Amino acid sequence: MDQKLRLKPSTHVHDASYDPETERLTLRLNGGTVAHHGVPVALAQGLQAAPSHGKFYNENIRGKYEHSRVR
């Protein structure tokens, strides 16, 4: 079951949720909504705690995990 992540205001990452059972991280970004698969819980927690969600996403998740467009 998806759990909404609490994010600070960000110009790149607008909303995020994480399902620990399937390790799916779903993000609403400027370019649309994407789901990343196989993301460890530690990275979802890191995204939530990061001072810059966009920078954390680009450095630690983008291009490193299989993903699909949601909308």
The token pair at 68 is 């699909």
- With contact defined as beta carbons under 8 Å apart, do 33 and 70 qualify? yes
Judged by DSSP in three states, 25 sits in strand
pLDDT tens digit sequence for 21-71: 999 999 999 989 999 999 999 999 999 999 999 999 999 999 999 999 996
**Residue 21: CA atoms inside 13 Å, Cβ hemisphere, count?**
3
Whether 56 maps to a domain, the answer reads yes
Give the chain's domain count: 1
Whether 71 maps to a domain, the answer reads no
Q: What is the DSSP letter of 59?
A: H
Whether 60 maps to a domain, the answer reads yes
Spatial distance between the Cα atoms of 49 and 67, rounded to a whole number of angstroms: 22
28 or 2: which carries more pLDDT confidence? 28
Question: What is the span of the domain harbouring residue 39?
Answer: 3-65
Whether 70 maps to a domain, the answer reads no
